[in-house]
């Protein structure tokens, strides 16, 4: 048995620390031409972890996904899955992984069963054992009664489940999913995440999933938050949120810059101006609210206090919001 590693102390209910490292990413660097996509990314994933790669568009998570799924080799650094190097031993690695792409990869002109039949052959499965495996997988994703219908007649959720069945057909030890819930309704989204948890718990499959959705990231065992090609935070969602220490207070004011300046001076704490709002991290936020409103009467238009979210973690680490779509606000 391995000794407990320090970073796993907080996750008391799991025994992640004793599980072997399945995926190891070390200083991975990637560029598309001159444009840097990954600037030295490192992390480990242990067996039966549900590991999230959270980041806004362009943060490098899809690049990392392509490297881990052997679609391209990184410019620098090393990445291994089950001891197989992504650059040097792609075929060994390919056998270990199941991949669910963001883009559709099933052939809609084929039936559900034919899609899996085809996939099985690519992995060297055939005959009666493939047939029973196909029946098993279709049953698991709830498509047994549609086995012989063409995939083009399926709903988006059903197609996604067929993708999942395709990725899992050959019993991979590692499942890689790229934004798997894109285009799914909330019900189908929830079903997918429940299924990922079942895979982890019952089959001990290691799952890496990329997402740009905070509420999905919350469901991961551990997370790497990516921004501009770097890991800006790594840990369990709870640990990451705890580091904020207390509550997040957001103030709307006519003149946020001067207000933030005076709050800093008066309360001796860090007050940030972000997109025209003053943002403060503080314990006992409910008490602080009364203090600050009394201190600056008439200047504060609205005030909110909330428990820290993963977005707050992102803001703390990067100094900007997760979505940079609100630039018009920032210009005020």
Partner 1 sequence: MVTQTATLPVQVAPISSGIVLPAFTLWWREIVRFYRQRSRVVGVIVSPLLFWLVIGAGFGTSFRAGNSPGQQHYLDYFYPGALIMIVLFTSIFAMMSLIEDRKEGFLLSVMVAPVPRSAIVLGKVLGGTTLAAIQGLIFLAFAPFVGVHLGIIDFLLVVFVVFLVSFALTSLGFAIAWPMDSTQAFHAIINLFLIPLWLLSGALFPLAGASGWLRLVMRLNPLTYGVEALRVLLYPESPTVLPLPASIGMLALFTIFMFGLCFFRVNRRTTRPAA
What one-character DSSP code corresponds to residue 236?
A: -
CA distance 32 to 79: 18
Of residues 7, 11, 14, 19, which one binds partner 1 by CB under 8 A?
A: 19
Is residue 101 a contact residue for partner 1 (CB under 8 A)? yes
Say which residues have a Cβ less than 8 Å from residue 102's Cβ, sequence separation at least 6: 62, 178, 179, 180, 182
- Does position 214 interact with partner 1 (CB under 8 A)? The reply is no
Using the rule CB under 8 A, is 106 a contact of partner 1? Answer: yes
If one asks whether residue 198 binds partner 1 (CB under 8 A), the answer comes out as no
Q: Do 41 and 74 touch, CB atoms closer than 8 A?
A: no
Q: In what order do the strands lie in the sheet with 206-211?
A: 97-100, 174-178, 206-211, 50-54, 222-227, 230-235
245 is a contact residue toward partner 1 (CB under 8 A):
no
- Please tell me whether residue 128 binds partner 1 under the rule CB under 8 A: no
Is there binding between residue 104 and partner 1 (CB under 8 A)? Answer: yes
Q: Which of 136, 145, 175 is nearest to 48 (CA)?
A: 175
By CB under 8 A, tell whether 75 contacts partner 1. Answer: yes
In the complex with partner 1, the residue whose CB is nearer, 100 or 310, is: 100
Collapsing DSSP to helix, strand or coil, 101 comes out as coil
Q: Can you tell me which of 12, 91, 148, 302 binds partner 1, judged by CB under 8 A?
A: 91
Cα–Cα distance, 260 to 280 (Å, whole number): 9
- Stretch touching partner 1 by CB under 8 A, among 30-38, 49-57, 182-190, 264-272: 30-38
The region of 114-122, 258-266, 297-305, 320-328 touching partner 1 under the rule CB under 8 A is: 114-122
The residue count for binding partner 1 (CB under 8 A) is 47
Interface residue with partner 1 among 40, 58, 90, 142 (CB under 8 A) is: 90
Residue in this structure with the two tokens 């905070």, named with its chain if needed: 214
Q: Which of 26, 109, 190, 307 binds partner 1 (CB under 8 A)?
A: 109
Give backbone dihedrals phi and psi of 249, rounded to 5 degrees, phi first: -115, 130
Options 9, 10, 122, 295; binder of partner 1; rule CB under 8 A? 122
Is residue 137 packed enough to be buried (19+ CB in 10 Å), middle (13-18) or exposed (0-12)? buried
Name which of 318, 321, 286 is nearest 304 in CA terms.
Answer: 286
Catalog residues that contact partner 1 under the rule CB under 8 A. Answer: 1-2, 18-20, 22, 30-32, 47, 66, 69-75, 82-83, 87, 90-92, 94-97, 99, 101, 103-107, 109-110, 114, 117-119, 121-124, 126, 166
């Amino acid at each position: 048995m391995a000794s407990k590693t320090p970073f796993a102390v907080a996750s008391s209910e799991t025994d992640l620390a004793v599980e072997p490292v399945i995926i190891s990413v070390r200083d991975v660097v990637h560029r598309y031409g001159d444009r840097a996509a990954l600037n030295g990314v490192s992390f480990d994933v242990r067996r039966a972890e549900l590991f999230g790669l959270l980041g806004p568009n362009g943060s490098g998570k899809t690049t990392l996904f392509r490297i881990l799924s052997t679609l391209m080799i990184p410019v620098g650094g090393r990445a291994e899955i089950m001891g197989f190097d992504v650059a040097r031993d792609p075929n060994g690695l390919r056998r270990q992984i199941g991949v669910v792409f963001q883009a559709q990869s099933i052939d809609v002109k084929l039936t559900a069963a034919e899609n899996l039949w085809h996939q099985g052959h690519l992995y060297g499965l055939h005959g009666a054992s493939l047939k029973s495996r196909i029946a098993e997988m279709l049953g698991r994703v709830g498509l047994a009664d549609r086995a012989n219908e063409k995939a083009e007649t399926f709903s988006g959720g059903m197609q996604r489940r067929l993708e999942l069945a395709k990725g899992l057909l050959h019993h991979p030890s590692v499942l890689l999913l790229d934004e798997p819930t894109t285009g799914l309704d909330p019900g189908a989204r929830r079903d997918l995440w429940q299924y990922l948890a079942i895979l982890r718990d019952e089959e001990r499959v290691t799952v890496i999933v990329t997402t740009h959705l905070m509420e999905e990231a919350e469901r991961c065992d551990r997370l790497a938050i990516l921004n501009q090609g770097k890991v800006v935070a790594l840990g369990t969602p709870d640990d990451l949120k705890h580091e904020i220490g207390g509550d997040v207070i957001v103030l709307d004011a006519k003149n946020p810059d001067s207000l933030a300046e005076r709050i800093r001076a008066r309360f001796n704490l860090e007050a940030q101006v972000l997109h025209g709002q003053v943002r403060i991290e503080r314990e006992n936020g409910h008490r602080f609210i009364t203090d600050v409103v009394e201190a600056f009467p008439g200047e504060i238009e609205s005030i909110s206090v909330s428990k820290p979210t993963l977005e707050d973690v992102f803001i703390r680490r990067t100094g900007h919001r997760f979505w940079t779509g609100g630039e018009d606000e920032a210009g005020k």
